[in-house]
Structure 1
Amino acid sequence: MASDNMRPVYHPAGHDNELRAAVQDLRTGRWVSMRNLLADTPDWALWTQRTQVLATVAAGSDAVQAWLSEEPRSVAALVMHTRVLVERAVRAHREGHARTQELWQQAWEACGTAARQAPADPVPWVCLLALSQLDGRQRLEEHRLAPPGPMLFPGPWALLSEADKRDPYNREAYHRMLQFVYARRADGSLSEAVNFVQWAASSAPEGSALHVMPLFVRVERYRRENGHEKALDLHWVTEDATRDALRALQLWFDHAVLAEASLLDLNQLAHALWGSLQFEAGARVFEALGPYYVSVPWAYRTRSPGDAAQAEDVFLRARARCLAAARDPRGGPDG
């Protein structure tokens, strides 16, 4: 049961206790827990999520390289090595590092090797999608293929299709495609992003995290506005915004395995329900979050989006409002 006074905590592993233990060991340079965790990971969706988190932690060390050197025939080690190289290339691109092109090439080659060695694994294809955002001008042919439907854009559709074959509606694959949309133009065409997430969610089954994606695009739209908090306050009480929030609740949250749910998705949904005054429904999501939170999108409701303390304060106020409505339904508009 969530408490109004419980301080929020950020941890990349969220509710995944086994992943949290592996992350702790990885931060000290130990890789055996990571190997054992991945060996026991039961499905591609969780595999994708766990390898992504582990790569963000391992990118600043040589722990994965040590594992691969110790067990050169390990396919899991090879996939994690690819993950780390891709993470480093994406970071270098974001920071405008002089070695970006070199790191990109290394990562791209590693993706090809991993795809051949692990033909059933969606992660090498997800990694190629992650690298596609480095090609904002779409110079590579594989990044400007014709789209599968109207109102969509030329892009790396074959890469998305390969990931989809291996793990249909893979959450990270579609979010990487969304990042490509933002990167392909200087203004990161938001109309194309809206069309993409609506297309993606339209065919996704119940329980798929793709139903949350429209909420991400709505926040991105208003992130780019001046006066973030005012724009968001006005935006979420509109009929279509409320509809998006409730659809994500009904089609994703009500059917999802919440123990494996992305903290990003849970925070986006909690924020959208609170913003659209659906306080009782929001309380359910805050209960599922427990002590865990991420600063986005809460930071965009502050005067200083880079101030973590302000973001935490907004999160706490939203949680308190929703939990209060759940205790006294007569006090909320959705009661």
Structure 2
Amino acid sequence: MSLFRRIRSSGPSLRPELDDVELGRVRRQLKSPGLPGQNSIQVDQVERLLRETGTDWDRRGHRFAVLAEVAAPSSVARTWRLRRPQNPDAQIFEAWVELIRGGHAGRMEDPRSAADNCYRAAELVPEDPTPWVVLLGILRLIRAESRDTLAVWNEITARDPWNREAHLQMLRYLSPEECGSRSAQLNFVDTVRSLVPPTAPAAAVELTALVDEHARTTAGGGVEALLVRRQWTHARAVSALDTALREWSRPGGLEHAAAPADLNLLAFALVQAGRPGETAEVFRRIDGAVTPWPWNLLGDPLQEFTYWQSRVAA
């Protein structure tokens, strides 16, 4: 049984924390208007929440990602790092916040400084994959050489073989839109499929690649975009959907921190494949924790999710 309390939803909502109750509480407090002394209180809350995850690298990565996103517009990360310059979590958090800011802007102001924070944290906690995960994101954003990126990838997988964030970063790094090609991406997916257990945190890599291909084809327009649903009838796509339906629906099938995000992905893919009748149980397990992507490929994510959930229920 998980030590982390999970949210029971009263209805669909965009919830970056997914089903992590404590993470949601701290995220909301980080979004609250600043008051005298509020910054210091927020630092204490972030520090405590991340410390509580211990060596649960999966939960730890999820919490870092959500908190870094919400803290990016504020000075919380810098305040924490200046207050505790030898705290590895503070160093990782500031680097992750800088990565988030760089992702929004399309470039990082000082990638070397953020990378140095990662290296210092890695020296202090050599068993932790998290600083290497942030470093991989930095290398992806600056379009680093594949040699350097692969070296960091190896550091991560040596510590956490099925790290979800790292697998998704590598998938996008190897895409034709970034530093790879369609064949490089497919080769990576094939390797993941052969190695990763079907319910591991990185199990959604193949479905993510299929949805990325769907979005790529749709954005290209023309006849191919009109016939995009045909992609979901290919043997590779059918096999990926069937495996996810079979493995993820079992009791205890998906237990990692971002499981609701993967279930959103599966529900979306089934809808696009013309198999909405098989999504009822998937929607039930999502329990209202809606993720912006991939529903935003269709329009407003909450409206699209609610529409398809209602259609399946009817």
TM-score normalized by the length of structure 1: 0.77
Q: Please, which of 203, 215, 218 is the counterpart of residue 223 of structure 1?
A: 215
Q: Please, which of 10, 15, 18 is the counterpart of residue 14 of structure 1?
A: 18
Give the Cα separation in 2 of the matches to 1:172 and 1:232: 27
Q: Say if 1:207 and 1:253, in contact at 8 Å, map to a contact too.
A: no
Letter of the structure 2 residue corresponding to residue 272 of structure 1: A
Structure-2 change in CA distance of 1:322 and 1:232 (3 Å): farther
Structure-2 change in CA distance of 1:230 and 1:313 (3 Å): farther
| 1:209 alignment partner in structure 2 | 201
| 1:291 alignment partner in structure 2 | 288
| 1:233 alignment partner in structure 2 | 229
1:168 is paired with a residue whose SS is: coil
Q: How many Å apart are 1:232 and its aligned residue?
A: 4.1
Structure-2 change in CA distance of 1:211 and 1:205 (3 Å): same
Give the Cα separation in 2 of the matches to 1:206 and 1:56: 28
Q: Please, which of 79, 99, 105 is the counterpart of residue 66 of structure 1?
A: 79
Q: How many Å apart are 1:269 and its aligned residue?
A: 0.7
| 1:75 alignment partner in structure 2 | 88
| 1:264 alignment partner in structure 2 | 261
Q: Say if 2:68 and 2:100, in contact at 8 Å, map to a contact too.
A: yes
Aligned identity (percent) is 29
Give the Cα separation in 2 of the matches to 1:16 and 1:103: 32
Deviations 1:43-91 (A, max 9, x none): 1111111111111111111112222333334332222122222223333
Q: Say if 2:18 and 2:261, in contact at 8 Å, map to a contact too.
A: no
Q: How many Å apart are 1:321 and its aligned residue?
A: 3.3
Q: Say if 1:182 and 1:189, in contact at 8 Å, map to a contact too.
A: yes
Q: State how 1:78-117 maps to structure 2 within 5 Å.
A: 78-92=91-105, 94=106, 100=108, 102-117=109-124
Give the Cα separation in 1 of the matches to 2:155 and 2:256: 27
| 1:39 alignment partner in structure 2 | 51
Q: Say if 1:111 and 1:125, in contact at 8 Å, map to a contact too.
A: yes
Deviations 1:159-183 (A, max 9, x none): 1111112112100011111121137
Structure-2 change in CA distance of 1:60 and 1:171 (3 Å): same
Q: Please, which of 120, 125, 140 is the counterpart of residue 127 of structure 2?
A: 120
Q: State how 1:49-198 maps to structure 2 within 5 Å.
A: 49-92=62-105, 94=106, 100=108, 102-136=109-143, 138=144, 143-145=145-147, 156-182=149-175, 185=178, 189-198=181-190
Structure-2 change in CA distance of 1:90 and 1:279 (3 Å): closer
Q: How many Å apart are 1:245 and its aligned residue?
A: 1.0
Give the Cα separation in 2 of the matches to 1:214 and 1:257: 16
Q: How many Å apart are 1:23 and its aligned residue?
A: 0.7
Structure-2 change in CA distance of 1:253 and 1:103 (3 Å): farther
Letter of the structure 1 residue corresponding to residue 28 of structure 2: Q
Q: Please, which of 302, 315, 318 is the counterpart of residue 308 of structure 2?
A: 318
Q: How many Å apart are 1:193 and its aligned residue?
A: 1.4
Residue ranges of structure 2 left out of the alignment (5+ in a row): 1-9, 33-38
Q: Say if 1:35 and 1:76, in contact at 8 Å, map to a contact too.
A: yes
Q: Say if 2:244 and 2:266, in contact at 8 Å, map to a contact too.
A: yes
Q: How many Å apart are 1:204 and its aligned residue?
A: 0.8
* Alignment size in residue pairs: 291
Residue ranges of structure 1 left out of the alignment (5+ in a row): 1-5, 146-154, 325-335
Q: Say if 2:94 and 2:114, in contact at 8 Å, map to a contact too.
A: no
Q: Say if 2:211 and 2:269, in contact at 8 Å, map to a contact too.
A: no
Structure-2 change in CA distance of 1:207 and 1:261 (3 Å): same
Q: How many Å apart are 1:239 and its aligned residue?
A: 4.1
1:224 is paired with a residue whose SS is: helix
Q: How many Å apart are 1:274 and its aligned residue?
A: 3.0
Alignment RMSD (CA, Å): 2.6
Letter of the structure 1 residue corresponding to residue 272 of structure 2: G
List structure 1 segments (4+ residues) > 6 angstroms apart after TM superposition.
none
1:297 is paired with a residue whose SS is: helix
1:194 is paired with a residue whose SS is: helix
Q: How many Å apart are 1:37 and its aligned residue?
A: 1.2
Letter of the structure 2 residue corresponding to residue 282 of structure 1: T
Once the two structures are overlaid, the 10-residue window that deviates more, 70-79 or 42-51, is 70-79
Q: How many Å apart are 1:15 and its aligned residue?
A: 0.8
| 1:3 alignment partner in structure 2 | none
Letter of the structure 2 residue corresponding to residue 196 of structure 1: F
Give the Cα separation in 2 of the matches to 1:229 and 1:318: 21
